[in-house]
Amino acid sequence: MRQFVTLLLALSAMCAAAAPLPLNDAALAAVRGGDGVSFDLSGFSMNGDVRITYTPQPGRSTWIGNLSASRSDNVVPFTDPYRLDIGQGPAGLADIVSFAFPANAHGAQRWQFAYDWGVDADGLVRDGGSVVLTDVVYQGGGLQFSTPRLEDGVAFGLALNMRIGEMAWRPNGRAAETGGLALAGVRVGAVDAAGNFTGAPWAIADVATQPAVVNALADESGAHLHVGIGWPDARHGSGAAPAGGLQIDRITFANPGGGTTDFGSARIGAIQIQYLDVKFRP
């Protein structure tokens, strides 16, 4: 509400400073409109016991729940917002919904996430523990959504320039002393020919140049979730998959009773996803 009032005051000051002027036809024709919204999430936090369950067949399911999420504030609120736009796609393609992450050049916007997960299959009920992500920083990139070209479901694109302070799988609770596997100093982003991070997002999928899809398929074994990334499309791009890199500064496993095993670091200098087809069978 405070931001809205500030915006109204700013608009009032602008109107008072200069009277409206008429526009000729040439000026009006040069105006390009669009549908979208910009918004900030400074100080955002949420906690709840909502559970999301995926059930491919009766008696077989997996779930995540008890999600918590929070984000640190911008230094100056609403100076680097998220953007949601609906625009026309390339010739011959459907419209595209684009969700762009903030540039976050100084990394001040940091997310904290945690959720629990489990499975219930063939009479076996298993609580898998918790996944905890700390200091998650998105710097540019975002998501795209559109209509698949040849099948049902949702076509999507994903571009990431991301850092994660720590990503931990903890089977005995969310606290660090409960033990588990942890990846510290994770980085994902675009790389150059030498395998060096460029600071730009890695386009893992793009609805025009290399679309991804998520849908449900059925065959003789039953229904299953399907996630795929198509081949690069030279009609709407270069025909080559973009290169990205993955870096992990430290991999450790901690025992609940004490003691930690350090597996060192890992790095993949260049990754190109030419084609991906994953089916989650019941």
According to the model, what pLDDT value does residue 237 have? Answer: 83
Domain residues for 135?
2-280
- The token pair that represents 21 in the structure block: 């002027």
- Percent pLDDT > 70 in the chain is 87
According to the model, what pLDDT value does residue 28 have? Answer: 56
According to the model, what pLDDT value does residue 112 have? Answer: 97
According to the model, what pLDDT value does residue 166 have? Answer: 98
* 3-state secondary structure (DSSP) of residue 252: strand
According to the model, what pLDDT value does residue 8 have? Answer: 35
Q: What secondary structure does DSSP assign to 133-201, as a single string?
A: EEEEEEEEEEEEEE--SSSSSEEEEEEEEEEEEEEEEETT-SSGGG-EEEEEEEEEEEB-TTS-B-SSP
First to last CA, the chain: 48
How many helices (H) and strands (E) the chain has is answered by 2, 17
- Under 8 Å between Cβ of 75 and 104: no
Could you tell me the CA-to-CA distances from 246 to 36, 112, 169 in Å, in that order?
32, 20, 19
According to the model, what pLDDT value does residue 31 have? Answer: 54
Over the stretch 94-148, which tens digit does the pLDDT of each residue have? 999 999 999 999 998 999 999 999 999 888 899 999 999 999 999 999 999 999 9
Q: How many domains does the chain have?
A: 1
Residue 92: beta bridge partners?
A: none
122/282 Cα distance (integer angstroms): 11
According to the model, what pLDDT value does residue 30 have? Answer: 60
According to the model, what pLDDT value does residue 132 have? Answer: 97
Residue 120: beta bridge partners?
A: 61, 125
Q: Which residues of the chain have pLDDT under 50?
A: 1-17
Model pTM above 0.85 = no
